[in-house]
Amino acid sequence: MCGAENCARKGVIAIQIPRIKILSIFGTRPEAIKMAPLVKALAAEPGIESLICVTGQHQSMLKQVLDLFDLKADFTLDVMTPHQTLNSLTAALYSAIDPVLEQTRPDRVLVHGDTTSAMVASMAAFHRRIPVGHVEAGLRTGDIYSPWPEEMNRRCIDLSADLLFAPTGQSRDNLLGERLQGHCLVTGNTVIDALQLTAQRINKDAQLRGELDQQFPFLQTGRKLLLVTGHRRENFGEGFLDICKALRHLAQRTDIQIVYPVHLNPNVLGPVTEQLGDLLNVHLIKPLDYLAFVRLMQHAHVILTDSGGVQEEAPSLGKPVLVMRDVTERPEAVAAGTVRLVGTSPASIIAGVNALFDDVALWRRTSQAVNPYGDGKASQRIVDTLMGRPVDDFVVGQVQPTHAPLHTPLSEPRELLADFTS
């Protein structure tokens, strides 16, 4: 290779191949987790100039992820306000994102999933006729009010995108059924890339496991862990009161312990601390960074959640999941038998949780590790597509994961707890 100066001296013209300028825009915890492996892969690609804009829709919950994955934002916007409404957030995002597009003039914008940050970023790029790539395209419940507003957000994004990175064959079929303009390919979900990186880091480092476990000094040997997360807007009010009612009832069981890292949304934090704060058997803790949360998922016997990302991660870890929603846009793990919808009625949540703690055969059937959401290569497929290289679709069961098991299998959660309480 000759440097530009040397080449000029020798009378050779150095041709600089222009790099593709990609601006990734994201703003919340799950987007950051799922974009982290992708922006790392973009940065490692010589043909790409990768820029990151974080919108600040989330602050502390996003910073945790940036720090963990060592990501440096090129643009940090500051849109979050306490108790933000969908419309105030949307307006703030348009005003904040547009100057970044004006300044950077990217060849392409990448957004992820279905948040308001992603929807506004895609529309702002569309208004400037900048091509949009949608990572995690094609998820659908078919009900625009559930999840709300995410189902509408993801539809808007898919309409405006010319590259649709569908995580599964089912999501690709949803897109094809809508006859959208964008080109679609099946990549697997980048959340599995992030989970593999993180779980492997935990599994190969006993000292790190010890340090992470010190964050859970309250866990007791001999009690199986029910891990809970919940934050969906459509569950605010009655829904959360019902979820809390169910957890109060379940907390009476002396053979289980409940851990709930509580989302910082005041509509969640308020009712949850008010309703459950006095229970010794319910540990309400601050949102964990991703490393600690993956470790806690490894310890769980059962996971109860309304989160999208957790529904995708837990099956890879072999953890049964009960989903507090009536519909899900992630039907693959339901079909595989590791995820079951229980809605938000207290009776249904209680029955679902009790069944998994009391029926060993049921627990064994639903705790098989399955990988319907990815093989850890989604980010590379996306980068290859952007570079115009041929890419094979992710097909469940066809592409064998090359990674080690995502957790050290132990027959009993009891042993797992003993290893850090002793």
Q: Which is nearer to ligand UD1, 148 or 357 (CB)?
A: 148
- What beta strand segments (E) does 182-273 contain? 183-186, 224-229, 256-261
The torsion defined by the Cα of 173, 179, 180 and 182, in degrees rounded to 10, comes to: 70
User: Annotated catalytic, 183?
Assistant: no
Q: Name the 3-class secondary structure at 78.
A: coil
- What is the DSSP annotation of 136-188? T-----S-TTSSTTHHHHHHHHHHH-SEEEESSHHHHHHHHHTT-SSEEEE--
Q: Assess 58 for contact with ligand UD1 (CB under 6 A).
A: yes
Piece of 74-82, 173-181, 368-376, 405-413 that binds ligand UD1 (CB under 6 A): 74-82
Q: Assess 265 for contact with ligand UD1 (CB under 6 A).
A: yes
Catalytic annotation, pick one of 155, 172, 263, 325: 263
Q: Name all contacts of 175-181 with Cβ < 8 Å and 24+ positions apart.
A: 175/137, 175/138
Quickly count: other Cβ atoms within 10 Å of residue 372's Cβ: 25
Q: Assess 149 for contact with ligand UD1 (CB under 6 A).
A: yes
Q: Which is nearer to ligand UD1, 59 or 203 (CB)?
A: 59
Residue 106 CB, shortest distance to ligand UD1, in Å, is: 22
Q: Assess 61 for contact with ligand UD1 (CB under 6 A).
A: yes
Q: CA geometry: angle at 248 spanning 243 and 249, to 5°?
A: 100
Tokens of 151: 């189902």
> Cα separation of 202 and 204, whole Å?
6
Residue 229 near residue 310, CB atoms below 8 Å: yes
Catalytic annotation, pick one of 58, 108, 134, 150: 150
Q: From the list 208, 241, 251, 264, which residue makes contact with ligand UD1 (rule: CB under 6 A)?
A: 264
User: Annotated catalytic, 150?
Assistant: yes
Q: Assess 381 for contact with ligand UD1 (CB under 6 A).
A: no
Q: Name the 3-class secondary structure at 192.
A: helix
**CB under 5 to 8 A by kind: which of ligand UD1, ligand UDP, none does 60 bind?**
ligand UD1
Q: Are strands 302-305 and 339-341 parallel, antiparallel or unpaired?
A: unpaired
Instruction: Kindly write out the interface string for residues 110-129 of this chain, putting x where it contacts ligand UDP by CB under 6 A and - elsewhere.
Output: --------------------
Q: Assess 172 for contact with ligand UD1 (CB under 6 A).
A: no
From the list 382, 388, 399, the residue with the least C-alpha distance to 37 is 382
Catalytic annotation, pick one of 231, 232, 301, 381: 231
* Residue environment code for 278-307, b if the CB has 16+ CB neighbours within 10 A, otherwise e: ebebbbbeebbbbbbbbbbbbbbbbbbbbb
Catalytic annotation, pick one of 31, 114, 151, 384: 114
> Cα separation of 182 and 135, whole Å?
12
User: Annotated catalytic, 375?
Assistant: no
> Cα separation of 94 and 115, whole Å?
14
Piece of 116-124, 152-160, 201-209, 307-315 that binds ligand UDP (CB under 6 A): 307-315
From the list 17, 45, 23, 18, the residue with the least C-alpha distance to 107 is 23
Q: From the list 308, 320, 374, 376, which residue makes contact with ligand UDP (rule: CB under 6 A)?
A: 308
> Cα separation of 332 and 339, whole Å?
9
Q: From the list 24, 50, 55, 57, which residue makes contact with ligand UD1 (rule: CB under 6 A)?
A: 57
Piece of 17-25, 83-91, 98-106, 219-227 that binds ligand UD1 (CB under 6 A): 83-91
Within residues 278-297, the interface with ligand UDP by CB under 6 A covers: 287-288, 290, 293
Q: Assess 261 for contact with ligand UDP (CB under 6 A).
A: yes
Q: Assess 310 for contact with ligand UDP (CB under 6 A).
A: yes
Q: Assess 328 for contact with ligand UDP (CB under 6 A).
A: no
User: Annotated catalytic, 107?
Assistant: no
User: Annotated catalytic, 263?
Assistant: yes
How far from 145 is each of 111, 163, 232, CA to CA, in Å? 22, 26, 11
Instruction: Kindly write out the interface string for residues 203-242 of this chain, putting x where it contacts ligand UDP by CB under 6 A and - elsewhere.
Output: --------------------------x-x-----------
Q: Name the 3-class secondary structure at 287.
A: coil
Residue 289 CB, shortest distance to ligand UDP, in Å, is: 6
**CB under 5 to 8 A by kind: which of ligand UDP, ligand UD1, none does 293 bind?**
ligand UDP
Q: What are phi and psi of 260, to 5 degrees?
A: -135, 100
Q: Assess 203 for contact with ligand UD1 (CB under 6 A).
A: no
Instruction: Kindly write out the interface string for residues 206-235 of this chain, putting x where it contacts ligand UD1 by CB under 6 A and - elsewhere.
Output: -------------------------x----
Interface residues toward ligand UD1, by CB under 6 A: 28-30, 57-61, 80-84, 86, 89, 114-116, 149-150, 231, 263-266
Query: What residues are annotated to the active site?
Result: 114, 136, 150, 231, 233, 263
Interface residues toward ligand UDP, by CB under 6 A: 29-30, 33, 229, 231, 261, 287-288, 290, 293, 307-310, 313
